[in-house]
Structure 1
Amino acid sequence: MAEQAQYEELARQLSAVGAVKRDMERILPSECPAGSATVLALLGRHGDMRMSRLAELLSVDLSVTSRHVAHAAARGWIERSPDPADKRSRILRLTPAGRAELAELSRRTTRLLASRLADWSDDEVGQLIRLMTRLRESFGDCRTAPAPAPVVDMTTRTPA
């Protein structure tokens, strides 16, 4: 188990990731804010889905999801069609224009990352991906209340 000072430094570094996210958001086209970009990315990755599923994946309230969807739909990037299984629900899907926008967002993001990480080796980038994936998996589903973490005495590293 890591030392307390390492966890404190990790917390500081994770807070600083906000600067990375802001830099990535600055490259988005003005007509495609981060929420819309995330909607397009999730539909691109997971395929057609109901609004409720999208809200789960976004980890936000249905009303927030609805605003993001309305913005993307108004630009012709997604379409909402009746769900054959439940006529009250809508199925969201990317349109050809949405796929084109998603491809452009991917190009922009790839260029930014390639530029910022130009002095990193392929192995270092791969290691970052593996570690970030593992970190995210360690936190599980962030949409549900976490189980209380056990209290550990950092001097002896045993449960208190």
Structure 2
Amino acid sequence: MNNLLTLFDLIGELARRRFQIAEKHYSALRLNHTEARLLTLLHREDGKASQDTLSNMLNVDRSNAGRALKNLEAEGYIERYQSAADKRTNLVKITDKGRETVAEIEKLKEKMIQEFLGDLSEDEAGQIINLLRKVYSNEADL
């Protein structure tokens, strides 16, 4: 049981450290972690998604997503507009500036990977991925 407690604590500490590293790197682009994640998710969704979809994918409440989207819109990374099919739905579209920024985010992620995981081999990373997926499947039932 002692190893499980240590693992539980380590997972929490790693999550905090990863967040801190991401905040530090994304600040070079004048973005916070949530804004960078939103841009990346939007890009993966072919550049267009509803505000609710993005908020669900990020697992944040609508007000947090709304604030981040407002900032991204003010900086010209995205455009928001009302759905023609459903006036209650707000759609989000990435701009050219947003796409360029996603490319910069991806470069920063490579630096973060080296900083955070640089000592791991591909085989070791694969083993950890398999174990974490097993842990995640237990958590998903909650």
Quickly name the TM-score band, shorter chain normalised: 0.7 to 0.9
Which structure carries more helix by proportion? Answer: 2
Cα offsets for 1:73-130 (capped at 9, x unmatched): 1111111122122123221121111111111011011122124433321211233333
Q: What amino acid is the match of 1:41?
A: T
Given the alignment, which residue of 18, 21, 46 partners 2:19? Answer: 21
Partners of 1:64 and 1:46 lie apart in 2 by 20
Q: In the alignment, which residue of structure 2 is the partner of 1:36?
A: 35
Partners of 1:95 and 1:137 lie apart in 2 by 36
Q: CA deviation at 1:30?
A: 5.2
Partners of 1:9 and 1:22 lie apart in 2 by 21
Q: In the alignment, which residue of structure 2 is the partner of 1:117?
A: 117
Q: In the alignment, which residue of structure 2 is the partner of 1:65?
A: 65
Q: CA deviation at 1:5?
A: 1.7
3-state SS of 1:86 partner? coil
C-alpha RMSD over aligned residues: 2.0
Q: What amino acid is the match of 1:31?
A: R
3-state SS of 1:119 partner? coil
CA contact (8 A) 2:81 2:91 kept: yes
Q: In the alignment, which residue of structure 2 is the partner of 1:151?
A: none
Q: In the alignment, which residue of structure 1 is the partner of 2:130?
A: 130
3-state SS of 1:88 partner? coil
> Once structures 1 and 2 are overlaid, which stretch shifts more, 112-121 or 21-30?
112-121
Partners of 2:45 and 2:135 lie apart in 1 by 21
Partners of 1:117 and 1:50 lie apart in 2 by 33
3-state SS of 2:92 partner? strand
Q: What amino acid is the match of 1:11?
A: F
3-state SS of 2:118 partner? coil
Q: CA deviation at 1:52?
A: 1.4
Partners of 1:19 and 1:55 lie apart in 2 by 23
Unaligned runs of 5+ in 1: 147-160
Partners of 2:72 and 2:134 lie apart in 1 by 31
Q: What amino acid is the match of 1:26?
A: K
Identical residues among aligned pairs (%):
27
Asked if 1:12 is matched to 2:39, the reply is no
CA contact (8 A) 2:82 2:89 kept: yes
